A and B are shown apart, each in its own frame.
Chain A
């Protein structure tokens, strides 16, 4: 009888293993673009296709961009798996420095000074790269939208000082005289403004607070930082704040443009002091980027943006998201993978695929510099 029972248990176990074995024949989906992957863009030939897996983590501002590029890259290089976890710029740099990922995505270049007096991000990254400096490679330009949700207000104009006061908490209601002055003729509700901010450490917050500090005419009290110091309610990640504004009437936040578009939120026009309010478009964001200067010298490609630009038609709140990779010091097979993927990302094909996702492509001058830096990785 006990033998019988064991037999029965065995049968069930074997049956369940069989189900597992049956299911063990999965595959990857066919590339969506071309039915014949070999025909595609193999003519470029510059980026050869190694084999292996590349792990990356960081900025959620570039999540949509890098996923699109990974998808396109896989059509070309089918043997490379690229994983990108959008956990935020701060987390990405930490994981990169802790040797957990092969490159990091970050909305700001590695810090070369530490206010607390400890080890700087750049120094920790160099340690990770076996005493070789890590590269800041500007890769994606994402305009930051001031997104709002107010009934009966299809158009909202703000300037630096008013925006700073709203996000500082000094302007509390929508019909404040400062807002009314910029929006003559609009019907503004007397309800309080609910502000949403990023509760995680975010490069978007850092870039936005840099803008508020530069263009806010002293109304912004805090230092530009990854952690929010203004007023409001915290939400996690870009999608969190976008969702917060979408579901809350009379609210406002700062978020990457693509999230504002995806969630069908109102996007404020910015009066940069040139006279006419500037609407957020790829063109107006590109104009502001043209004013950007390299912050460092030589191979350091970190960019210094002019947030207080008064140029007509330039949308001043943009963020440049970087890929942070070792210049040297990775194992050979990882180096080949990083080089292959990043050259595709910085290449013309890679950059061209970003415009439809509401990112702006890198200006050609900067793009060639980035490409040269990637080729120098060894």
Chain B
């Protein structure tokens, strides 16, 4: 800028003032700042509102020990008492099974895409499919599993079927994030390893994956948090049970989203309404705990450069 100004022949010799802004620019700057702050506030309002509503309406049941240790067996919508133990355990069990199936497939798939299949047609096709899978709504995943598990094979509705459909939802999330993390590992590290005569598989196992480990774990936890709140597969693939059922291969199973759904229809009755809010808050806390855990794992497992 200054160079152009100095070259002007008609320059009147006054000192160029670069400290302040001209009126129009100052106005634009203020306008942009106001708009940005406004957008931020608008984005934060519903978030704070939801949190405030759920916490203020749900917290008092969570303070009881029985909320964490008892089921809803024998508690009708008119009665107070009981807890969410059956639903918490149901949600955790289904989420753990989902993770056990989805995580190895996702990580190995990502390793293939980044390390072995880079640029090949197969890799590009798989990548494209994963993108499509990311956009599949949960109800479609649930109906697909219903068609396979119940219509074709004739099995009953059980918790494991829910896990299968959640795998379809979790897989693309974890695979995508793992792929991005592996791509971030600098090629110099791989080359250094090869230069020392280390085979490729060992390079991946000892250099690439450990370098990206924190990011991979974060991706897994985010994927878990996403599937734990899914409701459609629970409605279609398993019945809600008020009793404790820890067996994912037999019988109805409680889960937090379906617990909310069960009592949602009875909000005119105070005990039921209290339980709905408390179950919602419990679900939020579970997801929060998982996210904190992910942060913790990521912090402890990052390679520190000395």
Contacts and interface: CB of A to CB of B under 8 A. Distances in A.
A204 B145 CA distance: 32
A23 B239 CA distance: 23
Interface residues of B, number: 49
B287 to A, nearest CB: 14
Contacts of B242: 83
Interface string B79-99: 101110110110010000000
Contacts of A24: 89
A70 B72 CA distance: 12
A29 B252 contact: no
Interface in B149-165: 150, 154, 156-157
A46 interface: no
A81 B241 contact: yes
Contacts of A262: 266, 268-269
Contact of A29 (B68, B81, B210, B245): B81
A8 B265 CA distance: 46
A52 B252 CA distance: 12
Contact of B265 (A53, A240, A357): A240
A35 interface: no
A16 B292 CA distance: 11
B66 A29 contact: yes
Contacts, number: 126
Contacts of B81: 29, 32
B280 interface: no
A240 B265 CA distance: 7
Contacts of A101: 239
A55 interface: yes
Nearest to B96: A20
Given A28-B244, A32-B81, A12 B300 contact: yes
Contacts of A83: 239-243, 251-252
A31 interface: yes
Contacts of A99: 154, 156
A8 B300 contact: yes
Interface of A: 1-2, 5, 8-9, 12, 16, 20, 23-29, 31-32, 53, 55, 57, 60, 64, 67-68, 70-71, 74-75, 81, 83, 85-86, 98-101, 237-240, 242-243, 246, 259, 262-264, 357
7 contacts: A5-B210, A25-B69, A26-B71, A55-B251, A83-B240, A99-B154, A237-B265
